[in-house]
């Protein structure tokens, strides 16, 4: 049995035959996971220094040289690496006085920090499967981003207290700016909002819960939603990036909504984390420094702040190591440009815009397929996995330890 690292559900029940250089006899893999497994056979990286193919040791030596000579190095990525690799990355950051940041500083970090500090009540996905009678997808489209979410946990499965499941016992609500694939599945309770209007929507729910007339266009529908929330025995809210980007400075309002809902009934929040081990990095860094991301070890002690996030640090660093991430494709163009100008080390199993622009490319084994390790699911459950394919490539952790040794 294999574990899929295609998203932060970390499905552990995957059956797949990967012998003979092709994927066959696949069971339980969704289409996104299928693409993730299939990518093991295409677009793999090779060790490179300044665009010239070299052997692995030479690439590792050059990476060590760049980091050793840097005054303000940046280490970024981490959400697609195992806990073991992340721990090696933290050792490296401390050793060279680097800034370290992961993808959460640009996405779910603002909510994850409140979950990990206990300000917002959370739960496991197994709790959702067993107890939830209402699931709310807010600015999230799991049918596309986490395709087995609804079938394994939140809508279709029969749980301990939800034997009648979606046919009779589970209600699915979608709040989104567009009619997504998930909104089509849950069309009875699809609430369309304007881009950026999530804060107003929260205020409208709070008003309706208190029996006041909500200040929104469709007051009747909002009062109906308040009725569903009040009747819920055990509910779960799954905020996606649409909601996070819209709320940002208004996250206190969302916290107030969850507190209010928990005065009436039980409601838990599980962020729809995308990368398979973003939460693992946040937990690990928090245990070590008290902060979940954007930390600088320059000068010895750990210092946190927006100036140490990828967006700012890319402009203030003189070298960068990017692991398991493609910031040149996914981050704003100013940040991508700043990164591309640096001596850039990319550790990645697959080719990307970032590896194409990197001064040093170090190929690694794909976690879950070619390398084992441990990761933390979006709900905080630790998942250990073993490789199912043989490879001569080192894991992320082995590469980082070799760089550390060489430094
Ligand atoms: S839902 Fe996510 S972890 Fe599960 S099989 Fe699909 S991509 Fe992989």
When pLDDT is averaged across residues 314-334 and rounded to a whole number, the result is 95
- 3-class DSSP assignment, residue 134: strand
- Give the single-character DSSP code of 296: E
The pTM for the full model equals 0.94
At 278, which helix (H) or strand (E)? helix 278-289
Q: With a cut of 90, say whether residue 209 has pLDDT above it.
A: yes
Nearest to 167 by CA among 175, 177, 157, 176: 157
Question: pLDDT band for position 51 (50/70/90)?
Answer: very high
| pLDDT for 66 | 98
Is the CB of 273 within 6 Å of ligand 1? Answer: no
Provide the pLDDT confidence category of residue 29 given band limits of 50, 70 and 90. Answer: very high
Query: What pLDDT is recorded for position 60?
Result: 98
Q: Are 400 and 96 in contact (CB under 8 A)?
A: no
Note the pLDDT of residue 348. Answer: 96
Phi, psi (degrees; rounded to nearest 5) at 126? -70, -35
Best probe residue, ligand 1, of 10, 28, 33 (max atoms within 8 Å of C-beta): 33
Q: What pLDDT, on the 0 to 100 scale, is given for residue 106?
A: 85
Q: What is the pLDDT of residue 406?
A: 96
Contact (Cβ atoms closer than 8 angstroms) between residue 11 and residue 28: yes
Residue 405's SS3 state is helix
Mean pLDDT, rounded, for 314-337: 94
Q: Is the pLDDT of residue 23 over 90?
A: no
- pLDDT for position 337: 94
Beta-bridge partners for 303: 296
Using an 8 Å Cβ cutoff, are 357 and 327 in contact?
no
Q: Is the pLDDT of residue 89 over 90?
A: yes
Q: Is the CB of 241 under 6 A from ligand 1?
A: no
Q: Is ligand 1 within 6 A of the CB of residue 4?
A: yes
Q: How far apart are CA 94 and CA 69, in angstroms?
A: 15
SS (H, E, C) 26-66: EECCCHHHHHHHHHHHCCECCCEECCEECCHHHHHHHHHHH
Degrees to nearest 5, angle at CA 70 with 68 and 73? 105
Ligand 1: atom nearest CA of 7 is 2
Confidence (pLDDT) at 271: 97
Residue 6 CB–ligand 1 contact under 6 Å:
yes
pLDDT, tens digit, for every residue of 97-156?
A: 999 999 999 889 999 999 999 999 999 999 999 999 999 999 999 999 999 999 999 999
Rounded to whole angstroms, the Cα distance separating 360 from 336 reads 17
Query: What are the residue ranges of helices labelled H in 293-332?
Result: 310-316, 327-330
What per-residue confidence (pLDDT) applies to 343?
97
CB-ligand 1 contact for 10 (6 Å cutoff): yes
Question: What does the alpha-carbon distance between residue 327 and residue 325 come to, in Å, rounded to a whole number?
Answer: 6
pLDDT reading at 256 higher than 80 = yes
- pLDDT, residue 28, reads 94
32 within ligand 1 shell (Cβ under 6 A)? yes
Protein residue whose Cα sits closest to atom 4 of ligand 1: 11
What is the mean predicted confidence (pLDDT) over 227-247? 96
Ligand 1: residue of 3, 9, 366 to mutate (most ligand atoms within 8 A of CB) is 9
105 and 112 Cβ atoms separated by less than 8 Å: no
For residue 46, the CA-to-ligand 1 centroid distance in Å is 27
| Host H or E run for residue 100 | strand 99-102
Distance between Cα 188 and ligand 1 center (Å): 26
> Residue 217: pLDDT above 80?
no
Using the mean position of ligand 1's atoms as its centre, give its distance from the Cα of residue 129 in Å.
Answer: 17
Rg (CA), the chain: 22
7 lines ligand 1 (CB under 6 A): yes
The pLDDT of residue 17 is 85
381 C-alpha to center of ligand 1: Å? 15
- Least confident range of 11-25, 161-175, 267-281: 11-25
Q: Which has more pLDDT, 211 or 82? A: 82
Do 120 and 258 meet the contact criterion of CB atoms below 8 Å apart?
A: yes
pLDDT of residue 395: 97
The answer, yes or no, to whether residue 4 has pLDDT greater than 90, is: yes
Chain-wide mean pLDDT for the chain? Answer: 94
How far does residue 33's CA lie from ligand 1's centre (Å)?
Answer: 5
Q: What is the length of the chain?
A: 407
**SS3 of residue 340 by DSSP:** helix
Please compute the mean of the pLDDT values over residues 313-318 and round it to a whole number: 94
What is the Å distance from ligand 1's center to 103 Cα? 19
Q: Indicate the range of 3-17, 112-126, 207-221, 382-396 predicted with least confidence.
A: 207-221
Task: Report the side by side order of strands in the sheet with 266-269.
Answer: 190-192, 171-176, 134-138, 234-239, 266-269
Is the CB of 125 within 6 Å of ligand 1? no
User: Checking phi first, is residue 21 left (phi over 0); if not, alpha (psi -120 to 50) or beta?
Assistant: left
Residue 388 CA to residue 383 CA, distance in Å, equals 15
Longest distance between any two alpha carbons in the chain, whole Å: 69
Instruction: Band the pLDDT of 41: cuts 50, 70, 90.
Output: confident
| CA distance linking residue 54 with residue 310, whole number of Å | 29
- State in Å: Cα 140 to ligand 1 middle: 16
Q: How far is Cα 241 from Cα 137, in angstroms, rounded to an integer?
A: 11
User: Is a pLDDT exceeding 90 seen at residue 310?
Assistant: yes
Write down the pLDDT at residue 213.
82
Assign 396 a pLDDT band (cuts: 50, 70, 90).
very high
Is 237 close to ligand 1, i.e. is its CB under 6 Å away?
no
Ligand 1 in reach of 33 Cβ (< 6 A): yes
| Residues 327-366: b if buried by 16+ CB within 10 A, e if exposed | bbeebeeebbebbbebbbbbbbbbbbebbebbbbbbbbbb
DSSP category for residue 267? E
With 90 as the cut, is the pLDDT of residue 33 above it? yes
| Ligand 1 pocket test, candidate residues 146, 153, 273, 278, most atoms within 8 A of CB | 146
The answer to whether 15 touches 2, Cβ cutoff 8 Å, is yes
Query: How does DSSP assign 116-128, residue by residue?
Result: HTTSS----HHHH
């Amino acid at each position: 049995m294999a574990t899929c690292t295609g998203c932060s559900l970390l499905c552990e029940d995957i059956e797949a035959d990967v012998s003979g250089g092709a994927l066959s006899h696949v069971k339980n893999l969704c289409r996104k996971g299928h693409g993730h497994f299939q990518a093991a056979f295409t677009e793999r990286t090779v060790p490179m220094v300044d665009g010239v193919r070299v052997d692995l040791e030479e690439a590792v030596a050059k990476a060590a040289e760049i980091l050793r000579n840097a005054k303000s190095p940046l280490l970024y990525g981490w959400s697609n690496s195992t806990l073991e690799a992340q721990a090696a990355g933290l050792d490296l950051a401390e050793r060279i006085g680097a800034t370290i940041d992961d993808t959460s500083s640009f996405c779910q970090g603002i909510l994850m920090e409140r979950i990990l500090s206990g300000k917002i009540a959370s739960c496991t996905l197994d709790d959702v499967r067993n107890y939830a009678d209402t699931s709310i997808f807010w600015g999230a489209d799991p049918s596309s981003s986490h395709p087995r979410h609804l079938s394994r946990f939140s809508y279709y499965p029969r749980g301990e207290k939800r034997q009648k499941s979606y046919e009779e016992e589970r209600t699915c609500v979608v709040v989104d700016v567009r009619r997504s694939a998930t909104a089509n599945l849950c069309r009875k309770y699809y609430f369309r909002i304007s881009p950026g209007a999530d804060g107003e929507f929260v205020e409208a729910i709070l008003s309706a819960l208190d029996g006041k007339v909500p200040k929104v266009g469709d007051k009747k529908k909002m009062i109906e939603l308040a009725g569903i929330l009040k009747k819920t025995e055990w509910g779960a809210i799954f905020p996606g990036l649409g909601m996070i980007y819209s709320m940002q400075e208004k996250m206190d309002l969302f916290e107030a909504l969850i507190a209010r809902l928990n005065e009436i009934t039980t409601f838990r929040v599980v962020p729809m984390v995308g990368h398979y081990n973003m939460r693992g990095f946040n937990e690990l860094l928090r245990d070590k420094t008290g902060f979940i991301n954007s930390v600088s070890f320059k000068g010895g002690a750990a210092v946190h702040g927006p100036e140490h996030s990828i967006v700012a640090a890319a402009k203030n660093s003189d070298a960068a190591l990017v692991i398991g991430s493609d910031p040149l494709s996914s981050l704003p163009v100013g940040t991508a440009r700043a990164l591309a100008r640096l001596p850039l080390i990319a550790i990645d199993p697959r080719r990307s815009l970032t590896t194409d622009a990197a001064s040093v490319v170090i190929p690694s084994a794909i976690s879950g397929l070619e390398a084992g390790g441990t990761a933390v699911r979006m709900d905080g459950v630790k998942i250990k996995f073993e490789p199912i394919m043989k490879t001569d490539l080192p894991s992320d952790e082995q590469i980082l330890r070799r760089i550390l040794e060489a430094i």
